Structure 1
Amino acid sequence: MVFWLFLLAALTGHAQTVLSMPTGLVSVEGQIAAVVVQADGKVVIGGIFSAVDSVARGNIARLNADGTVDATWNPGADGPVAALALSGNTVYAGGFFLNIGGQPRTNIAAIDATSGLATTWNPNADLDVLTLAVSAGTVYVGGDFATIGGQSRPFIAALDATSGLATGWNPSGADGTVNALALSGSTVLAGGSFANMAGQPRANLAAINAITGSATSWNPNADNAVFTVVTSGNTVYAGGLFANIGGQSRAHLAAIDATTGSATAWNPGADSGVEALALAGNTVYAGGRFAHIGGQPRAYIAAIDATSGSATAWNPHADKRDVITLAVSGSIVYAGGNFVTMGGAFTGGFARIDATTGIAAATPQIFATPVVLAFQAQADGKVIVGGLFTSINNVARRNIARLDVDGSVDPGWDPGADDQVNALARSGNTIYAGGFFRHIGGQPRAFIAAIDAITGTATAWNPGADRHVDALAVSGSVVYAGGRFTLIGGAPRAFIAAIDATTGMATAWNPGADHRIQAIAVSGSSIYVGGRFTHMGGQPRTYIAALDATTGLATAWNPAADNFVDAFALSGNTLYAGGRFGHIGGQPRGRLAAIDATSGLTTAWSPFADGPVDALALSGNTVYAAGLFAHVAGQPRANIAAIDAGSGLATAWNSGTDNGIAALALSGGTLYVGGIFTSIGDYPRTGIATLTTPTDEIFHDGFGLHP
């Protein structure tokens, strides 16, 4: 599972003028990404949410055994919580936050289970923590980080449970995200999206000696990502996106012999990704995105016989979206995810299900701030909005909408996506959309679609990807798509593809990347790409590359970033880049850089942001940057800044938000801002807002005054 994550950075300055367009979004059901059950029956939940049963709770909460909110326990994380683990009186939390339990803690913390306060344990991960496992005084951690516990530990580490320092255990050579960890005796099992682990080629699943940190000979060799791993005796259960694992064809779910690494005969066969597993006796509980598993129709959640591989009669039937996390305690199955209903009841992202009947018990309602992830301005001044929401200004719209020039919702345009929209692009009268959806514009469309800008219906164009699309760009008759897919337009394409805008088929252009694509920009015969890859177009290219539009091969242009590149903006011969990097083009550049589009060298422009930059926009001599930061160019700027394109200095324009920004777009003199914030420029705005952009005529004293 991938979800957009941001942190809180609550700084304020002179308020930028916010236009009067109606921009409030009503609350939607929150996402639960992690669940752990305490010995006393209380349940700790983590994810992305702002309230539980109308009780304010920031992304982490504890429920009493009867399902009510524990009023005495409130650590309050300022960013998403993706992983939880228990050890005695300590709750370990991982995710993408800056503060939790009343203390500054970057992406990982230990919380006192009695007080809800953070302990002194502080490993300080530089990027998100996605999975945790605890054993005998050691906390094993996986995610996207490069440093943790004071040491370089890319993607996987072991931390001393007392000091928080990284131990000597170091499976060096890990080259991709670790999504799941499981412990089995003296072995640490790791699943994720990697090609190498602990100095050995290990595709997406590996076993590591818990003493030495070396990879064992066990090698199931999964052909796609592994999201979840659990063990029982001599069997390792794995779920993910794979079609082959352990030497056998196994669709998304498999049982693997813990000694040989071969898949057993157990073969439930899911029709889409498996994201969560839990074991109880002879039953394997599975959650994910599937509609069929174990030979039966089962929507997103199922119980599977551990002997036969068949689905049992247990059938809670989740509605609308995936199940991300599962836990079993006694006669209750706890499920968390993006769903709205489960077991016949409205549950809103968290459910307590009877393990016998499949009926959901009374469940608290989880609410979250809506997310706006993408904009696309039309020639007529209307703006398309994409993200994860159920309404805009109290007008029902699912994940995609259009705003008229006055900011009101266009009443005649309603494509209605059944899941998150990550990316938008436009060509004439066609709007291209990418994301997590399976239906949009009234038609089944897997992760990518073309929408008629007049009617809002999906056109016949239907490339059909096997996993989500995160970036789009259009050039002439070609639609460039990037994301996490390995199949699109009827052909195998690793993370990036060129699709014929008429037929929907993949062209022969096939650069092939080794990891996710986050950003695409087109300039003449060059296709610039950014993301998480280390190889692209047949060459080693770390996180940023230029591809030949004819051959698909990487050009000699090679700025070589040292961390992820997530956003681009082009101006003439200058490519502006934002992301997580500290160095790019051979120079130190704090998450923002300007790169010569011909030579690949960085210019002298160096604003330096102290947190990730996820969106960029250009207007004349101004570069707008947004994301997750608190300072830019030495000035306090909460998540958004206007930077002089010549000097690299922050201008006086200063509109702070109380949470992260994911998308920017300019239309005329208006800057559209999207994210998960609830206020901007001292005005209440939930998820989306418009700001004036300063010009010589209307700029004054830090305020853009609307003419």
Structure 2
Amino acid sequence: MRSSKRGRMSARLIHSAHSAIMALICAMLHWSMGGLTMSDDRRSFRVRGLCRSRWRSILCCHALILLGALFSAPMHAQQYAAVVLPVPDVRLSLAGDVKAVVRQSDGKLVLGGSFDLVGLEHRQNLARFNTDGSLDVSWPALANGTVNALALDAGDHLYVGGAFTEVNGIGRNALAKLGPDGMLDADWNPAPNSIVNALLVSGSQLYVGGAFGNIAGSARTGVARVSVSGMGQLDATWNPAPNNSVLAIVEAGSNVYLGGSFSQVSGTARLRLAKVSALGAGLLDANWNPSADAIVNTLALDGSGSLVVGGVFFNIGGLPRNCIAKLDPAGTGAANASWIPASASFGCSVRALAADGNGAIIAGGSFSTMGGLSRNNLVRLLDSGTVDSGWNPDVQMQRYLTLVGVHAVLPLAGGAVQVGGNFDTVAGNARFGSARLMPDGSLDASFSAAIDRLGDVRTLAFDPISGHTYVGGSFELVNGSQVHRNLLRLANDLSLDGGWTANVNGPVSALKVDQTQRVYAAGAFTRSDLVVRNYLARFDASGVLDATWNPNPNFFVEAMALSVDESNLYLGGAFTQIGGQSRNRLARVATAGTGSPPDSWNPNANSSVLAMALRPSDGAVYVGGAFSVLGGLARSFVGKIGNDGTVDASWAPNLNNFVEAIDVDPRPPLVKRGSAGSIGVGGDFDLAAGVAGALARNGLVNLLPNGTGAFDSLQDASPPTGSRVQGLGAFAPEVYPETLNWICGTFPASNGSSEIGLQVFNAGGQVVIELPVALDEGISDVIAHYYFNRISQQSNQVSTGSPAILVGGSFTLINGQARKGLAAVQLLANQLFANSFE
């Protein structure tokens, strides 16, 4: 169990005391038996009034009494203290999403969005930057949820809208006001009851658009106007009343333009666009009705007063227009017939628009072409509607399956532009979340801060030959500056191996290393650099992609196992084809050649396979996941497959939810005692008492390996209700002689303010270590590490040093130490005696 610092010190003192006492007793016995002479000048030692023989007898008697007292008491099992090692201490992150940018009167920029980090600094969804592009570390503002919109008044008070419930640790639902120093206004609190998407300051009033139905204590759907002062009092008169969300607001004179997902305003049909009065009750313009056929995300006025509209529509203002159009601000709101006749790439989305002050419009979003030219997610449109052919920042995301694009655009003095969004590359250079552009569209190197969100580790693999550790997960950046996309390697001292640059463009869920030091990576990716590799790739020890081996599954791979001779690789996931052959969620591929299936092994699961383990003795494969049918047989989330691909007709445990981890013949079976050879199974299930034995089974169960796969009656405990087990493991005898095994995942802690991410058990099933993580965090994978246990490959000699484990997951705190998703933990052993000294 966990020990406090005082507890660990006490244990060491007790251990030292025992050692000293034992040494003294041994010395007494030795001397009493004639083996010790105590003298200054080689003369025999005599005690006044006693001869040597009688003194020896007395000491011997006392020593034996003391020994009897010590050894007659029962001895404790080996106890351990967990120490988080100084390495690795890396910060793994992904590109954040900047959704709003504003410029203060002093030139400083405020960015809002969805992010956790700016470089190596914690910044939760809000950050301010100095004019030189450096982070303003003195500005304290933060929000506990996504920031969608920002606005400034004449006094540099900042209005923040989004999907949060706290700002600066104080309750503020979706809307807040900050002073120029970043401190929360204690009085101003209109408190809308749902998300805010758009803000616009107009003199002493603030327009608020979003998905709310109530604000400042009154019914208002989608849009409202409140005072910028006092408590944020609602304008009781102005109420256009759209029937759904407002995403964009622009004011021009006495008119206000609204864009969003609504279909009515003031009870009158208006499809996603409306023009209302800024005066009185906000009456709807009876004539202006461009009618977009899909959502409008953003609005902007160009230099001549026309309204530019961006979204996901295909028709607007009576003309076909794909995601962007210019409308007449008067009359019926007709679309400009000559502006961007070539439109944009099919299926695009425009999410940010701004006039640059030089007659052009900067448009950002998700698209690959505009006006017939290649333009990735950002474009400059001239007043004529043609694309500026010389301005091409080329904003991209090197990740698969993510909402890529530019979501905020802010023109700066002199023609520069600040952009924000969810991207990681600008003009071929790494830029995460935000970038500053020169007037010609080239990258301004003065703004290089990475706007990130925390990544996570999902899988670990250790190579005992080289001592390297491989890490896979969902991350792009290490320590705020080094690009490592979803894969990295640690040197044998656990430091980051910066020279190993293998990468893939999506999360890695499973890793294996073979005896030739080739690394297999599986997950949700589609390429490595510019080479297509769908969901499965192999790299050599130098990190070079294997150009030939390409089994090419057609969807995610979640689990892998190597055959004993390493000629075959077993795969589980969500795929339905491998190498062009039908393979439903399970496959066996060759490790030679191109990696095609070598035979007809095809167990055929009806849903995703998330875990697998191969039994070396006979090649049986145990699999778990989300399936209910395996090989045509009913199998609830777990099954056994023979070496020939036939599902075992008898082995049929009945679980009630997903299986995420399987371990074959752990040492001994996991959690408490179990039968030799049983199968440890972990997941998100909860089996009531009487279903799997006398006790409930929460996230973990031991199954007998043969026969019907019965629940192991010797398993006498399980994690608490609500536990989710994502990993199982044990120290192999050649790594550490003491029997230790573990489970990892998320387990409710008794204090309710944290989670337990890891439990380590001894041979008797007692918990010897618990590692707490912060609430709602967890540990996904754990491996035994040789950092403190070097093995002689020739003699197989076991080191008796303290064992170490490497843990990976989604955490920011482990055992009280700050670590971001990856940590090494040394287990320090103490042998304690149960006596009065304790």
State the TM bucket, normalised to the shorter chain: 0.5 to 0.7
In structure 2, relative to structure 1, the CA distance for the partners of 1:349 and 1:473 (3 Å cut) is closer
In structure 2, relative to structure 1, the CA distance for the partners of 1:605 and 1:430 (3 Å cut) is closer
RMSD (CA atoms) = 6.3
Equivalent of 1:443, from 510, 527, 531?
531
Counting matched residue pairs gives 560
Q: What pairs with 1:28-427 in structure 2 (closer than 5 Å)?
A: 31=96, 32-47=98-113, 48=115, 50-51=117-118, 59-65=125-131, 67=133, 73-77=139-143, 81-89=147-155, 90-95=157-162, 99-101=166-168, 103-105=170-172, 108-114=175-181, 116-122=183-189, 131-134=198-201, 137-142=205-210, 156=222, 158=224, 160-161=226-227, 163=231, 174=244, 180-184=247-251, 185-190=255-260, 205=272, 207=274, 219-222=291-294, 228-232=298-302, 233=305, 235-239=307-311, 252-255=323-326, 259=332, 264-265=337-338, 266=340, 267-270=342-345, 274-281=350-357, 282-288=359-365, 290=367, 292-318=369-395, 322-331=405-414, 332-337=416-421, 349-355=433-439, 357-359=440-442, 361=444, 363-367=446-450, 371-373=454-456, 375-376=458-459, 385-391=472-478, 397-401=484-488, 415-417=502-504, 421-422=506-507, 424=509
In structure 2, relative to structure 1, the CA distance for the partners of 1:20 and 1:188 (3 Å cut) is same
TM norm structure 1: 0.58
Contact 1:395–1:409 under 8 Å retained in 2: no
Looking at structure 2, the residues matched to 30 and 13 of structure 1 have their Cα atoms a distance apart, in angstroms, of 41
Does residue 433 (structure 1) correspond to residue 519 (structure 2)? The answer is no
Cα drift, residue 41 of structure 1:
3.4
Cα drift, residue 329 of structure 1:
4.0
Higher strand share: 1
In structure 2, relative to structure 1, the CA distance for the partners of 1:105 and 1:398 (3 Å cut) is same
Looking at structure 2, the residues matched to 14 and 208 of structure 1 have their Cα atoms a distance apart, in angstroms, of 70
Cα drift, residue 503 of structure 1:
3.6
Contact 1:442–1:457 under 8 Å retained in 2: no
Looking at structure 2, the residues matched to 504 and 152 of structure 1 have their Cα atoms a distance apart, in angstroms, of 58
Does residue 636 (structure 1) correspond to residue 752 (structure 2)? The answer is yes
Could you tell me which residue of structure 2 aligns to residue 680 of structure 1?
Answer: 814
In structure 2, relative to structure 1, the CA distance for the partners of 1:38 and 1:308 (3 Å cut) is same
Structure 1: runs of 5+ lacking an equivalent: 1-11, 481-497, 508-522, 530-545, 551-570, 578-591, 598-602, 607-612, 627-631, 644-650, 701-707
Contact 1:78–1:98 under 8 Å retained in 2: yes
In structure 2, relative to structure 1, the CA distance for the partners of 1:113 and 1:270 (3 Å cut) is farther
Amino-acid identity (%): 22
Structure 2: runs of 5+ lacking an equivalent: 9-80, 399-404, 514-518, 561-569, 585-603, 611-625, 631-652, 660-682, 689-695, 700-721, 730-741, 760-767, 785-803, 833-838
Rg bigger for which structure?
Answer: 2
Contact 1:616–1:623 under 8 Å retained in 2: yes
Could you tell me which residue of structure 1 aligns to residue 762 of structure 2?
Answer: none
In structure 2, relative to structure 1, the CA distance for the partners of 1:401 and 1:346 (3 Å cut) is closer
In structure 2, relative to structure 1, the CA distance for the partners of 1:329 and 1:442 (3 Å cut) is closer
Contact 2:475–2:485 under 8 Å retained in 1: yes
Looking at structure 1, the residues matched to 269 and 758 of structure 2 have their Cα atoms a distance apart, in angstroms, of 44
Cα drift, residue 453 of structure 1:
7.0
In structure 2, relative to structure 1, the CA distance for the partners of 1:441 and 1:129 (3 Å cut) is same
Cα drift, residue 197 of structure 1:
7.9
Looking at structure 2, the residues matched to 636 and 213 of structure 1 have their Cα atoms a distance apart, in angstroms, of 52
Q: 1:592-618 CA distances to partner (integer Å, 9 max, x unpaired)?
A: 997899xxxxx9999xxxxxx999737
Looking at structure 2, the residues matched to 94 and 674 of structure 1 have their Cα atoms a distance apart, in angstroms, of 31
Contact 1:341–1:348 under 8 Å retained in 2: yes
Contact 2:455–2:475 under 8 Å retained in 1: yes
* Aligned amino acid, residue 664 of structure 1: S
Looking at structure 2, the residues matched to 302 and 685 of structure 1 have their Cα atoms a distance apart, in angstroms, of 40
Contact 1:246–1:262 under 8 Å retained in 2: yes
Looking at structure 2, the residues matched to 549 and 280 of structure 1 have their Cα atoms a distance apart, in angstroms, of 59
Contact 1:220–1:263 under 8 Å retained in 2: no
Looking at structure 2, the residues matched to 201 and 404 of structure 1 have their Cα atoms a distance apart, in angstroms, of 67
Cα drift, residue 304 of structure 1:
1.1
* Aligned amino acid, residue 524 of structure 2: G
Q: 1:174-199 CA distances to partner (integer Å, 9 max, x unpaired)?
A: 5xxx69423353442116xx9x7889
In structure 2, relative to structure 1, the CA distance for the partners of 1:284 and 1:402 (3 Å cut) is same
* Aligned amino acid, residue 617 of structure 1: Q
Looking at structure 2, the residues matched to 252 and 139 of structure 1 have their Cα atoms a distance apart, in angstroms, of 25
Higher helix share: 2
SS in 2 for 1:308: coil
Looking at structure 1, the residues matched to 213 and 512 of structure 2 have their Cα atoms a distance apart, in angstroms, of 39
Q: 1:499-544 CA distances to partner (integer Å, 9 max, x unpaired)?
A: 534449999xxxxxxxxxxxxxxx9656799xxxxxxxxxxxxxxx
